[in-house]
Structure 1
Amino acid sequence: MTGPERFQVLVLIHFFVTLTGTKHLVRGDLSYSFPEETKLGFIIGNVAKELGVDLSTLSSRKARVDVEGSRKRYCDVNLNTGDLITSERIDRESLCGKKPSCVVKIDLVLENPLELHRVSLHVHDVNDNPPKFKKNSIEMEIRESADKGSRFSIEEAHDADMGQNDVQRYVLEKNDHFILSADSKRVQLQLENNLDREKQREINLLLTALDGGSPQKSGTVVIHVTVLDANDNAPVFTQAVYKATVPENSPPETLVITVSATDADEGVNGDVIYDFGHVSEENLDIFSLDPKTGKIKVTGVIDFEETTSFDISVEAKDGLGLTSYAKVLIDVIDMNDNAPAIYLKSMSSNTPENLPSGTEVGIINVHDRDSENNGQVRCSIQENVPFKLVPSIKNYYSLVTTGQLDRELVSDYNITYCH
């Protein structure tokens, strides 16, 4: 393990040497696919059938599910049927966000003989979230002398789902003045007919965002346009996309990045105010945006193990309501802030003294929540015991004998693991 800090974790395992037998570890990989938000007790698959395990032995072999490095279990084994069933809500958006693939790794453990099977749960997205705008209404102020064809940016709707279940298109309710811009990747109003403040000072437009799911979901926002006499230019950001990095556990007031937009107008028409566009409640507690300077700072706890990146929309608005938007992409830098943990996955409590050298008597798992070099671990045991650790699957180790056991000389061993 590398990093600015080194951790040492000790685990004591105590077992007795007896005259009972033991068997070897058998390993295999399983993979299942199923949709998110299934009801509790949903049958993912039958592990007993796929592994060829006798149903009558599941209980005696203590068949169980273990999720490495997580307090959640997600699923359990029905010892009567051998089915792998959901035991709590599985929400793809909470687990994987917008990642194209969402895979949850769990371990299936059986004893007597010891078996460890790696199970991959591929969670598919369902259309369980509607598109949402940040606010129920958007205030805009547009000069009456605006040219036909002028475009005005509108903040996009956000949908927590992905792919076809994400926002696919927008529909603007028919009106006398505006249409949606058809040749822009952004959501923009395009002025189709001239405005006349003397005839109509205020215009209400209804914009609907639609996803591509089945059944289709939608979200709406009312755009309230006030017709003014002057304001020729909207603010323009210096970049369409800002990129920054921030170390996890950065203290409050840490400066992440400064966004900047300029407005060619003078006076109140050129004064720019910054605000977040769409941002989740969790991110609002993590970052702040100074409305005058555009400085984005840390205000909450950033944990790489929880979130590796942030995608934030920022808005620049001038004194009379014209707006522009930019994206801020923030990558979190992993720090070596987690101590590795050792888990005793299985252990033969009674071990015969006549076991041949090289016999496996237990399984341990070592896990560090940090990533890359910070998450690499090494495991060893103290000297002068007739046992050694043999690396196995991923971060699993087998405890095997290295010499002859003699109960008359030593009837039990305390083995200390460290890494």
Structure 2
Amino acid sequence: MGDKGFPALRLTLCFLFFIVTLHLVHGDLSYSFPEEMKTQSVIGNIAKDLGLDLRTLSARKARADSEGTRKRYCDINLSTGDLITSERIDRESLCGKKPSCVLKVDLVLENPLELHRVSLHIQDVNDNSPKFKKDLIEMEISESADKGNRFSLEQARDADIGQNAVQRYNLEKNEYFILAADNKAELVLENTLDREKQKELNLLLTALDGGSPQRSGTVVIHVTVLDANDNAPVFSQAVYKASLPENSAPDTIVINVNATDADEGVNGDVTYDFGHVSDDYINVYSIDPKAGQIRTTGVIDFEEMNSFEIIVEAKDGLGLTSYAKVMIDITDVNDNAPVIYLKSLTNPIPENVSPGTEVGIINVQDRDSEITDRSAALFSKMFLLNWFPLLKTIILW
């Protein structure tokens, strides 16, 4: 065969690999286990669940590959058939606040070549405590404030989800304030303040989660009693919503928030800031303290995070504060090419190998959204159908 025959041979082998994939990718396995298990902890028994004895598992060189990540989170103990953890698995670093956290692993067997997709459902454990943005909250409240007036506080943040996240608040018993509700960080003035009697007071606020064992975080509220400042800033909306395409250039305007204060002078001078947000948010967005304009400052990647929820605070000159929520939905753009993963035999292929011998599996993945992924899959099927008559001729030859 001359040099001109080699490209045709390579093309034929590629399509043969693709056809083999249709027959050798088997059903999924699924396991559920808690995060933060010790290394070498057993997730499940691969041999039992696939109906293989241990000698077969070892002879077929079973291995576990984690696609799309540099870390190897699990491995197979060929002596027992157990799928075991190979390093610490932290749900929060993998999935953040997503309600479902699934890690995909490929189980590969050789002789003949098989591929099983394994879904690892990582359950949340209560390994994070509620935290406030600061250790001290400074407030200034007029002695003319009426009984029943409410004062919003910044809520605590907990990296855990569901029942393990913040469930309620507790305010240390005092003469002047109570909580509006045990699940809301909002003070209610129960008794009138008297600056001449007490011009300063400290309140201890505790945030508690619902985990077992229960975790908590505290903040001290320092209240300075003033002679006047009767109104807190009021946002034009309780919730602001915006949509932003991924890969937006830095300094792109996302949305404007606006709060007004009925007081005059320094009492009505409103400034804006973010509430308690993670460092990832701070590196992506900024807010103009005077204008309330939110802009992008970093790279926005739909595949990393497809939505943001930011608490914005408006504070007047003497410290009365109100809060609003900004919800930003990130729209996907087709910025990822499909990636082809090839699973092949570890031993060289002899030149006299019989036709029909399994030599490899092609696994195609695309990190973009489902619509783009389906389009790529449809194109692959159409491309295969267009070439199938030629392949059939080559295979028969």
**Coarse TM-score class (shorter-chain normalised):** 0.7 to 0.9
Shift of 1:386: 9.7
CA distance in 1 between counterparts of 2:159 and 2:166 reads 9
Greater fraction of residues in strand: 1
CA distance in 2 between counterparts of 1:251 and 1:122 reads 35
Q: 1:88 to 1:235 in 2, by over 3 A?
A: same
Q: 1:345 to 1:353 in 2, by over 3 A?
A: closer
Aligned to 1:113: 112
Whether 2:202 is the aligned partner of 1:201: answer no
Aligned to 2:349: 349
Aligned to 2:4: none
Aligned to 1:66: 65
Shift of 1:53: 1.8
List structure 1 segments (4+ residues) > 6 angstroms apart after TM superposition.
12-15, 381-387
Per-residue CA distance 1:213-271 (angstroms, 9 max, x = gap): 11110000000000001111111111111111111111110111111111111111111
CA distance in 1 between counterparts of 2:234 and 2:351 reads 74
Q: 1:326 to 1:350 in 2, by over 3 A?
A: farther
Native 8 Å contact 2:168 2:184 kept in 1: no
Count of residues in correspondence between the two structures: 375
SS of 1:243's equivalent in the other structure is strand
CA distance in 1 between counterparts of 2:389 and 2:56 reads 32
CA distance in 2 between counterparts of 1:315 and 1:386 reads 66
Q: 1:288 to 1:164 in 2, by over 3 A?
A: same
Aligned to 2:219: 221
> What percent of counterpart residues are identical?
71
Shift of 1:362: 2.7
Aligned to 1:9: none
SS of 2:255's equivalent in the other structure is strand
The amino acid of 1:188's aligned partner reads E
Aligned to 2:363: 365
Shift of 1:96: 2.1
SS of 2:395's equivalent in the other structure is coil
Native 8 Å contact 2:112 2:358 kept in 1: no
Native 8 Å contact 1:69 1:369 kept in 2: no
Aligned to 1:276: 274
The amino acid of 1:153's aligned partner reads S
Native 8 Å contact 1:275 1:291 kept in 2: yes
TM-score by length of 1: 0.83
Equivalent residues in 2 for 1:332-411, closer than 5 Å: 332-346=330-344, 349-350=349-350, 354-355=354-355, 361-375=359-373, 376-377=375-376, 378-379=379-380, 403-404=395-396
Q: 1:354 to 1:213 in 2, by over 3 A?
A: closer
Q: 1:351 to 1:30 in 2, by over 3 A?
A: farther
- What is the aligned-residue RMSD (CA, Å)? 2.7
The amino acid of 1:57's aligned partner reads T
**Structure 2 gap segments, 5+ residues each:** 1-9, 14-19
Aligned to 1:417: none
The amino acid of 2:60's aligned partner reads R
Shift of 1:182: 2.6
Shift of 1:374: 2.9
The amino acid of 2:317's aligned partner reads G
Larger deviation: 212-221 or 102-111? 102-111
Shift of 1:87: 1.4
Equivalent residues in 2 for 1:245-256, closer than 5 Å: 245-256=243-254
Q: 1:307 aligns with which of 305, 308, 317?
A: 305
SS of 1:58's equivalent in the other structure is helix
CA distance in 1 between counterparts of 2:279 and 2:156 reads 15
**Structure 1 gap segments, 5+ residues each:** 1-11, 16-21, 389-399, 406-419
Whether 2:150 is the aligned partner of 1:151: answer yes
The amino acid of 1:403's aligned partner reads I
SS of 1:252's equivalent in the other structure is coil
Q: 1:157 to 1:401 in 2, by over 3 A?
A: farther
Equivalent residues in 2 for 1:222-237, closer than 5 Å: 222-237=220-235
The amino acid of 1:72's aligned partner reads K
Per-residue CA distance 1:259-317 (angstroms, 9 max, x = gap): 11111111111111000001101111111111001111111111111111111111000
SS of 1:181's equivalent in the other structure is strand
Equivalent residues in 2 for 1:7-46, closer than 5 Å: 25=24, 27-46=26-45
CA distance in 1 between counterparts of 2:130 and 2:393 reads 59
Native 8 Å contact 1:26 1:114 kept in 2: no
The amino acid of 2:273's aligned partner reads D
Whose relative contact order is higher, 1 or 2, with alpha carbons under 8 Å and at least 6 apart?
1
TM-score by length of 2: 0.87
Larger deviation: 217-226 or 369-378? 369-378
Native 8 Å contact 1:242 1:329 kept in 2: yes
Q: 1:245 to 1:55 in 2, by over 3 A?
A: same
The amino acid of 2:143's aligned partner reads E
